[in-house]
Amino acid sequence: MSNIYFGEQNNKSLADLRKSDRSRWVAPGAIPNMAGHVLTVRGPLSPDQLGMTLMHEHLFVDLRKTHLPHAINVELEGRTEPILTTEDFPATQLAVYEAKVQLGNLHIARDMGPIADNYVLADEDVAAKEILEFKNLGGSTVVEVTSIGLKRAPESMRRVSERTELNIVMGTGYYHSVYHPEDMDDRTVEELTNEIVADIVTGVGDTGIRSGIIGEVGVNGDPLGPNETKSIKAAARASRLTGAAISFHRGGAGRERLETLNILGEEGANLDRVVLGHSDEIAEDPDLMLELLERGVYLQFDLLGRATALTESPTSLAAKAIPELLGAGFENRLLLSHDVCLKVHLQHYGGAGYSFIPGKFLPHLRENGVTRLQTEKMMVENPARILPFDPPSQK
């Protein structure tokens, strides 16, 4: 891996550390200064090379844990989180659950029914083909926010990046509590921080492929659990130590988002390095959105392309909120993406895919008075401001 940012000496010492230290601890002094550069799965990149960027997507992910058939939570002594498992159910339903998504069961998958395969993205050829649709419409960078516990696939991402010539930025940190490791209760904030820092500095596992953003950090809240709080604190510390930005899955329910921001602030994170994803969910609460924006964070509308019949779609709600927020002067704090994460989201399976934003959404915004300059801000300039690293802090 060509590397003009890591000194020869650093490279050696980091490799040694990785071999010798089970906790993958990286001494603060050994954290390289990546300031002003974006870190992709193929190495560092100048932010002016990013171009049109999707800030919250998945090329490879396994979300089956939260879509089990006949799911139940089992509370256990000595664990802060229940175990999510399945009740006993008739064996014939297994055939449905374990079938591939195909003609015949497609409607069950569309309805978010129990077809396990729908919740897995694991095909490199399909990923490359789908993401090229984004490139064909002028796209050039994808932030892949699959984080720890979701079967993140660094080498596949690198191969897809090589094949498609798209920049891919990989995530790190912990997703929401169902996906936390079994021993999350025993892990300390320091250990979690070390793991995140190591992903950014030395790479994921032994792949040498480094994460370029912390997230998606899963915070469902309602209420914020102790492990979620540890994960938020670790993300904050790792952001401060490395200079990487943080991207949240929700960041809590409703106004809990403010509490999450307080925790980040207490841990010394810079709130203008923070993205609150899935803000579509609060698109009908302008007061909360403005309150969050006043704190300096980015609001990200990333469920774009989702269609509905009987209710107004998140896409439509976002399309209404965005002009309002632009009008209130927050054009430097808005980000857009699709959060493709299921098979039925892919064009291959009839979904809107990775190209809905340039293909349909931006034209729709422009028909509704949003200027080309403003869409450029959301798709190019804002990603180019949030993705480059800040200088690392040794504290």
Partner 1 sequence: MTENITGKVMTVLGPISPEDLGFTLMHEHLFIDLRRYHLPHGRDIAVPGRSQPISTTKDFAATELAQWESHVSIGNLNFPNELAPVSDQWVLADEQLAIQETLEFKRRGGGTIVDVTNIGLKRDPAALKRVSSATGLHIVMGSGWYQKVFHPDDMDRRSEKDLTQEIISDLTSGVGDTGIQSGIIGEVGVNGNPITHNEEKSIRASARASVITGAAITFHEAGFEKEKHDVLNWVEDEGADLERVVVGHCNKSANNLPFLKELLERGVYVEFELIGQSEALGISVQKKAAEAVVELIKDGYCDKVLLAQDVCIKTHLKHYGGDGYSYMQETFVPHLVTLGVTGENIETIFIQNPKTLLTFVQGFGSI
User: Binding residues for partner 1, per CB under 8 A?
Assistant: 101-104, 106-107, 109-110, 304-313, 315-316, 319, 344, 347-353, 356, 360-361, 364
Task: For the CB of residue 352, give the shortest distance to partner 1 in the complex, in Å.
Answer: 7
Task: For the CB of residue 321, give the shortest distance to partner 1 in the complex, in Å.
Answer: 13
Residue at token pair 């422009």: 366
- Residue with Cβ nearer partner 1 (207 or 316): 316
Which residues are CB-neighbours of 221 under 8 A, at least 6 positions away?
A: 228, 250, 251, 252, 253, 256, 259, 260
Task: For the CB of residue 132, give the shortest distance to partner 1 in the complex, in Å.
Answer: 13
- Residue with Cβ nearer partner 1 (217 or 283): 283
User: What span, in angstroms and rounded, lies between the C-alpha atoms of 73 and 82?
Assistant: 6
Residue at token pair 């796209």: 139
Task: For the CB of residue 113, give the shortest distance to partner 1 in the complex, in Å.
Answer: 11
Amino acid identity, position 210: R
- Residue with Cβ nearer partner 1 (227 or 374): 374
- Residue with Cβ nearer partner 1 (92 or 394): 92
- Residue with Cβ nearer partner 1 (91 or 310): 310
How far apart, in Å, are the Cα atoms of 289 and each of 110, 346, 367?
30, 30, 23
Q: Sort residue 149 into left (φ over 0), alpha (ψ -120 to 50) or beta.
A: left
Smallest CA-to-CA distance from 334 within 282, 387, 367, 383 is with 383
User: What span, in angstroms and rounded, lies between the C-alpha atoms of 69 and 290?
Assistant: 39
Query: Looking at the DSSP assignment, which residues form a beta bridge with residue 377?
Result: none
Task: For the CB of residue 119, give the shortest distance to partner 1 in the complex, in Å.
Answer: 16
Helix (H, G, I), strand (E, B) or coil at 215: strand
- Residue with Cβ nearer partner 1 (66 or 102): 102
DSSP state of 278: -
The DSSP result for 59-108, as a single string, is SSEE-GGGS-TTEEEE--TT-SSPEEEE----THHHHHHHSPS-TTTHHH
Helix (H, G, I), strand (E, B) or coil at 286: helix
Task: For the CB of residue 269, give the shortest distance to partner 1 in the complex, in Å.
Answer: 34
- Residue with Cβ nearer partner 1 (238 or 352): 352
Task: For the CB of residue 223, give the shortest distance to partner 1 in the complex, in Å.
Answer: 29
Range 108-133 burial, b when 16+ CB lie within 10 A, else e: bbbeeebbbbbbbbebbebbbbbbbb
Task: For the CB of residue 316, give the shortest distance to partner 1 in the complex, in Å.
Answer: 6
Task: For the CB of residue 147, give the shortest distance to partner 1 in the complex, in Å.
Answer: 27
How far apart, in Å, are the Cα atoms of 93 and each of 73, 89, 115?
20, 7, 10
- Residue with Cβ nearer partner 1 (225 or 351): 351
- Residue with Cβ nearer partner 1 (41 or 344): 344
